[in-house]
């Protein structure tokens, strides 16, 4: 029998997903959270890229966290699949980090840059950010979709760029708040310390709720039907109601649903 007083116990960390369109600042948000929270919390990061470990390398080179605590999942396919339909690779990476660096307080999981509709399965993360930026246009927040509408927190990033791209940040935030029926909207610029402090406070507040058992993982819902190439008819998932297609990647796998119940 192992001596339980010396056997490290693996604590289940709060798992937070970061999704959003390409280039809106998902890696930058994770770097910022590591910088802001890395001294008071034990953190780890999982990145998702289709064919590379570029995001993991960016974060390691940012020097914000012990590089060993940053692991890359190479999805090899449509990036949303690994965070929504078959989360096995990501769950294994998260659990490995939780075990190797026990106790871990928060694991941040970055989705591969995708279109507007990717969301995390609640089987993988307890809470999720969806990241937009002002450079994508002030209208984006009104356009809706599961991530914009129902992610736990919507970040409207790069507000410092608003004057250069003709976006009224207050209006964009107001539109987002009404599209989200009052769910959290966090305007953010890394140049604005107050906005950084609000994002940090949101994570700490969510961690408190998670630890006290008050936090319940919400499912923003599946992504909308989508196609990747002309003539690709896609296939329909009865369980999720998704139509899904992989002509672009030539992918032929079946989806194993790894939802926790």
Ligand X SMILES: Nc1nc2c(ncn2[C@@H]2O[C@H](COP(=O)(O)OP(=O)(O)OP(=O)(O)O)[C@@H](O)[C@H]2O)c(=O)[nH]1
Footprint of ligand X on this chain (CB under 6 A)? 22-28, 55, 113, 157-158, 160-161, 189-190
CB-based closest residue to ligand X = 113
Q: How far is the CB of 134 from ligand X (least distance, A)?
A: 9
The reply to whether 20 sits in an annotated binding site is: yes
CB of 110 to ligand X, least distance (A): 7
Return the number of the residue (194 or 230) whose C-beta is nearest ligand X.
194
- Three-state DSSP class for residue 195: helix
- For ligand X, the closer of residues 14 and 56 by Cβ is 56
Q: Are strands 235-236 and 243-244 parallel, antiparallel or unpaired?
A: antiparallel
Name beta bridge partners: 187: 156
Shortest spacing between CB 180 and ligand X, in angstroms: 20
CA 181 – CA 93 distance, rounded (Å) = 34
Q: Which residue, 15 or 26, has its beta carbon nearer to ligand X?
A: 26
The residue (of 56 and 91) whose beta carbon lies closer to ligand X is 56
The least CB distance from residue 198 to ligand X, in Å, is 13
Question: What is the C-alpha separation between 96 and 85, in angstroms, rounded?
Answer: 20
Smallest separation, CB 173 to ligand X (Å)? 15
Which of 55, 242 has the CB closer to ligand X?
Answer: 55
Contacts with 44 (C-beta within 8 Å, 6 or more apart), sequence order: 13, 65, 69, 70, 71, 94, 97, 98, 101, 104, 106, 107, 108
C-alpha to C-alpha distances, 257 to 83, 85, 126, 222, nearest whole angstrom: 11, 6, 17, 13
Query: Is 21 assigned to a binding site?
Result: yes
- Sheet hosting strand 106-110, strand order edge to edge: 70-74, 43-49, 106-110, 14-19, 127-133, 153-157, 184-188
Closest to ligand X by CB, 168 vs 239, is 168
Token pair of 235, please? 């296939």
* Closest CB 26 distance from ligand X, rounded Å: 4
**Alpha-carbon gap, residue 245 to 237, rounded angstroms:** 11
3-class secondary structure, 64: coil
* 22 among annotated binding-site residues: yes
List binding-site positions for GTP.
20-27
Residues contributing to the annotated binding site: 20-27
């Amino acid at each position: 029998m192992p001596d339980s007083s010396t056997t490290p116990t693996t604590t289940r960390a709060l798992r937070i997903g970061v999704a959003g369109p390409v280039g809106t600042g998902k890696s930058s948000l994770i770097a910022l959270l590591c910088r802001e929270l890395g001294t008071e919390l034990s953190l780890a990061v999982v990145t998702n890229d289709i064919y590379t470990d570029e995001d993991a390398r960016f974060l390691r080179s940012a020097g914000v966290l012990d590089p060993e605590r940053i692991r890359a999942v190479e999805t090899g396919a449509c990036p949303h699949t690994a965070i929504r339909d078959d989360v096995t690779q990501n769950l294994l990476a998260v659990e490995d980090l939780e075990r190797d660096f026990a106790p871990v307080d928060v694991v941040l999981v970055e989705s591969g840059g995708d279109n507007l509709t990717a969301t995390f399965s609640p089987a993988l993360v307890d809470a999720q950010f969806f990241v937009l930026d002002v450079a994508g246009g002030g209208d984006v927040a009104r356009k809706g979709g599961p991530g914009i509408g129902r992610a736990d927190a919507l970040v409207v990033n790069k507000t410092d760029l608003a004057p250069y791209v003709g976006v009224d940040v207050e209006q964009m935030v107001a539109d987002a708040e009404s599209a989200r029926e009052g769910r959290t909207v966090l305007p953010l610029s890394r140049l604005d310390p107050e906005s950084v402090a609000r994002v940090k406070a949101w994570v700490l507040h969510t961690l408190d709720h998670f630890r006290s058992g008050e936090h319940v993982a919400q499912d923003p819902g599946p992504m909308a039907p989508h196609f990747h190439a002309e003539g690709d008819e896609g296939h329909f998932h009865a369980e999720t109601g998704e139509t899904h297609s992989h002509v672009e990647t030539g992918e032929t796998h079946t989806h194993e649903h790894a939802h926790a119940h």
